[in-house]
Structure 1
Amino acid sequence: MTRNGPLAITFNGLFVAFMLAPLVVVIWMSFTPENLLVLPTTSLSLRWFYAILDNQQFINALGMSIMLGLIAATGAILLAVPAALALSRYRFPGRDGLVAFFLSPLIIPHVVLGVAFLRFFTQVGVSGSFIALIGSHILIIFPYGLRLVLASLTTADPAIERAAVSLGATNWTMFRRILLPMIIPGVAGGWMISFIQSFDEVTMTVFVATPSSMTLPVRMYHYIEESIDPLVASVSTVVIFGTFLLMFIVDRVYGLDRTLVGPGK
């Protein structure tokens, strides 16, 4: 086993500090007793966390984001699993082009997608509806679920599936009792990443959401246009710790290494 030298350790430490510094500053500012976004220097306070409970708009937006994320992530995974099965188990003309098409939302700017969705949903008469939000979010988070399910399928031995079918199992039985348990970490990881991406999405959602269907990131975006108090920092802190809690639960249940990377061979 090779050891990292002082230069590598220093570089890694600086990189981690660079990544964590913004989160630390936001969390620290959320405990300020002042009326402005400043770092607390004399005392800490939960004032702005209690203020969240008094702001019904943020509470409604949080509920909207959670419900939208749950539905969109579930819908994306339900589409990603059969798509990944077809792409990994079959070879057909246009397969590579289809893969590129499925992954294209990763490279198209979300501003462009937002304008396109706004135009399309206005034409079909569902602009600003919850259905429009679900459809647009499923499209942009679908590639994340697809990539993780595909990664899990590459580690699943097709010979096991053929053996089950040769012993009399139907395709559905083989999938439910053999293939799905093997790829469930990837499915769980894809669902988790899809949920987080849906929950955090703001650029595209600004074009699709309305005051009656506003998600939490969009509400925070509009709030900081009008106010500079630390309420938005306290909401951000709640979201940060909620994300850490979700990742901790997944790590305890499946393991983040198996969920996000896949089982080692």
Structure 2
Amino acid sequence: MKILFIGDVFAAIGREMIETYLPQLKQQYQIDVVIANVENATHGKGLNKRHYEEFLFQGISLMTMGNHTFAKKELFDYIDEADRLIVPYNQPRALPGMGSREITILGKKIRVTNLLGITFMDGKSQNPFEAIDDVLKEDTSDIHIVDFHAEATSEKIALGYYLDGKVSAVLGTHTHVTTADEKILPQGTAYQSDVGMTGPYESVIGCDKDSIIKRMKTGVMTPFLVAESVGQLRATLLTFNDQNQCIQIERICIDPDHSF
């Protein structure tokens, strides 16, 4: 089985990159399941219902979120019906949504769990190391992929080793910068610190670079503007054998400097 995980989809450019390249990727790599982090899909923050439905139509089986999950208040109106959406499992209990979901594809039970990091984040989430234990107690899936939406690389690496042999893959999101540390850990869990961003290529993690430079240089809190740029697509391809063991993890990069 081959599972494609698409990194943080950012605004219209990110959505256009999926529309353009996902059919080609599915054909070339014979992909069975597509997962995407979509917390920035609508204008750079949050996810509205129209874009959620577009992703379903394009063949994305499960969608994960992150610290901008509820940036679009419209989500409160449709989240109970969004049965392919996964919000952070360790978010404050008062917030709605499912933090771990299981679907069956080609006879395999595939679970995806979304976790938020707590280092350099807003500090309102439950400790992800404690939270994931609750999921593992009830998990009977064949393949279990964790999207760890976190800032600190050290926290991501630590969780990877903590879950080595307990889940199938730990893939980092949130920083929007692809890391080159993809590997299969000693007990068989696939790991990568960050899958990267699917969005504007000439940007500062998706935002207009001039406005961010001004903010960094002067300290003036300029608004975050979505960059107008050609696109990039960042994804990670996981290959599993018949025993549900991940035997390969591969970065996929599409942009003006990495043609497809």
Larger Rg: 1
Q: Same fold (TM over 0.5)?
A: no
Q: Which has the higher helix share?
A: 1
TM bin (shorter chain): under 0.3
- TM-score w.r.t. the length of structure 2 is 0.24
Between the two structures, name the one with larger relative contact order (CA 8 Å, sep ≥ 6): 1
Q: Which has the higher strand share?
A: 2
- TM-score w.r.t. the length of structure 1 is 0.24
